[in-house]
Amino acid sequence: MITSEVADRVYRLGHAFVNCYVVEDDGRVLVVDTGLPAMWPLLAEALRERGLRPGDVAAIVLTHAHFDHTGFAARAQARLDVPIWAHVDDFGLAEHPYRYAHENPRAFYPVRHPRALRILGAMAFAGALRVPGVRGLRPLPSGGALLVPGQPVVVPTPGHTAGHCALHLPDRDVVLSGDALVTLDPYTGVRGPQIVAGAATADSAQALESLAALAATGAGTVLPGHGDPWTRGVATAVEQAREVGAH
Ligand SMILES: [Zn+2]
Ligand SMILES: [Zn+2]
């Protein structure tokens, strides 16, 4: 199995330290984030092993438009002909994947964090350096449920990027936190609940403030963009991320 069921009918597809998720709802599918380019063939395999087909995908939502979450978005748009939703403040980033804002010079990090070299190397091998831009996205509403499979509630969580949004599935007791809260920081190799390092975060202070919105969901399980699922409640994850703070 290349997927694991990490919440009620929510499947994790992880590759090269990046996660995307398949949310199944009565035979229809929502894909949350589009990983790295090498994950495109894995999506078809993931669907197959869950008894689903590419034609069952009804929508894609991007938590944010960093290149490690938009890897197969353009391809999926062309091949599956499905709407792709993202926050309007990330549209520019989606079109130009390598022009993103971050606080600290990225090149500095692997020197301080040699553990990150293996992770960033795996991401590069999975196509992180050749992600095409994607246009024609639909703007996510800032709050309220989206009428796509799973009916996720959009939880704006800006900071990591200007338009970052988490998705809350209240009836499944799960929040898909994207990179607003991760359990593995690819830029340092450190595990545990935290915001992503300043190497890839636009505004760390704002990212820390946005943790309150995640905590407010009260979800039992947190499914991050990087790292393993957190099943001890979003409140404890947020508490630990605040302790780690900006880094
Ligand atoms: Zn990111
Ligand atoms: Zn990421």
Q: Report pLDDT digits (tens) over 170-218.
A: 999 999 999 999 999 999 999 999 999 988 899 999 999 999 999 999 9
Q: Check residue 106 and give its pLDDT.
A: 64
- Can you say how many angstroms the Cα of residue 233 is from the centroid of all Cα atoms in its chain? 18
The alpha carbon of 217 and the centre of ligand 1 are apart by a number of angstroms equal to: 21
Ligand nearest to the CA of 185: 2
The alpha carbon of 39 and the centre of ligand 1 are apart by a number of angstroms equal to: 16
Q: How many domains does the chain have?
A: 1
Structural domain for 71, as ranges: 2-244
Q: For residue 80, which phi and psi values (nearest 5 degrees)?
A: -100, -20
The label of the residue with tokens 């994850």 reads: 237
Q: Report pLDDT digits (tens) over 153-173.
A: 999 999 999 999 999 999 999
Residue 148's CATH number: 3.60.15.10
Say what the pTM is: 0.96
The alpha carbon of 178 and the centre of ligand 2 are apart by a number of angstroms equal to: 7
The alpha carbon of 12 and the centre of ligand 2 are apart by a number of angstroms equal to: 15
Q: Mean of the per-residue pLDDT values for the chain? A: 95
Say if residue 97's pLDDT is above 90: no
The alpha carbon of 179 and the centre of ligand 1 are apart by a number of angstroms equal to: 5
Between residues 75 and 142, the one the model is more confident about: 75
Distance, CA of 16 to CA of 122 (rounded, Å): 5
State which H helix or E strand residue 93 sits in: helix 91-95
Share of the chain above pLDDT 70, in %: 96
Rounded average pLDDT over 14-30: 98
Distance, CA of 205 to CA of 106 (rounded, Å): 18
The alpha carbon of 1 and the centre of ligand 1 are apart by a number of angstroms equal to: 26
